[in-house]
């Protein structure tokens, strides 16, 4: 998502785990076309005839999504990772972000923040390598084991 809009916007969705609706994904340019199931075959033929789209082109973030990106700009990430709500955005969005992030493993959030920052400005191949290079580090933490062993349950992460 960072390639489509901005690293800050991607961080909001990575950190909170908030799902994106099909309509939002379409508005953001992540999804090319929305169709009913009966229209899929025709849509595929149409899209194929139009040629390969540049799926990684930078897109402008629609204004209604700006507060979500602002929730995870650098100063607000520091606030969120220390257990405080972000500033400069509507209270409802700030509270929701802080609540959802409060359920996540702090070490995983810090690593995700670092990975997204390291990927900025890199080619897709380089960005994938950055992520793959961190997989062992991410999944070898005690918090990863605790979280994966307790899927669907709230746990008290230890930050290690």
pLDDT at site 32: 87
DSSP H/E element including 91 = helix 91-102
- Is residue 76 within 8 Å of 88, Cβ to Cβ? yes
**pLDDT tens digits along 76-103:** 999 998 889 999 999 999 999 999 998 8
**pLDDT tens digits along 116-156:** 999 998 988 999 999 999 999 988 898 888 888 988 888 88
pTM of the model: 0.85
- Is residue 131 within 8 Å of 119, Cβ to Cβ? yes
Question: What is the set of domains in the chain, with CATH numbers?
Answer: 1-104 (no CATH), 105-160 (1.10.12)
**pLDDT tens digits along 37-91:** 999 999 999 999 998 877 777 788 999 999 999 999 999 999 998 889 999 999 9
- Is residue 84 within 8 Å of 77, Cβ to Cβ? no
Q: Which residue in 137, 89, 84, 119 sits closest to 11, CA to CA?
A: 119
Measured between alpha carbons, how far is residue 85 from residues 75, 81, 124 in Å? 11, 9, 32
Both tokens assigned to 57: 């082109």
pLDDT at site 3: 73
């Amino acid at each position: 998502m960072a390639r489509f809009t901005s690293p800050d916007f991607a961080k909001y969705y990575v950190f909170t785990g908030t799902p994106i609706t099909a309509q939002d994904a379409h508005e953001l340019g992540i999804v090319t076309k929305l169709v009913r199931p009966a229209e899929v075959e025709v849509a595929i033929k149409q899209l194929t005839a139009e040629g390969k789209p540049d799926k990684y082109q930078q897109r402008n973030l629609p204004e209604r999504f700006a507060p979500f990106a602002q929730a995870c700009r650098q100063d607000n990430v520091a606030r969120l990772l220390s257990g405080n709500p972000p500033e400069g955005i509507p209270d409802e969005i700030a509270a929701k972000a802080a609540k959802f992030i409060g359920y996540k493993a702090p070490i995983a959030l810090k690593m995700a923040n670092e990975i997204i920052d390291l990927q900025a400005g890199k080619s897709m191949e380089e960005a994938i390598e950055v992520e793959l290079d961190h997989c062992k580090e991410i999944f070898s933490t005690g918090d990863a084991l605790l979280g994966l062993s307790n899927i669907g349950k709230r746990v008290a992460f230890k930050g290690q």
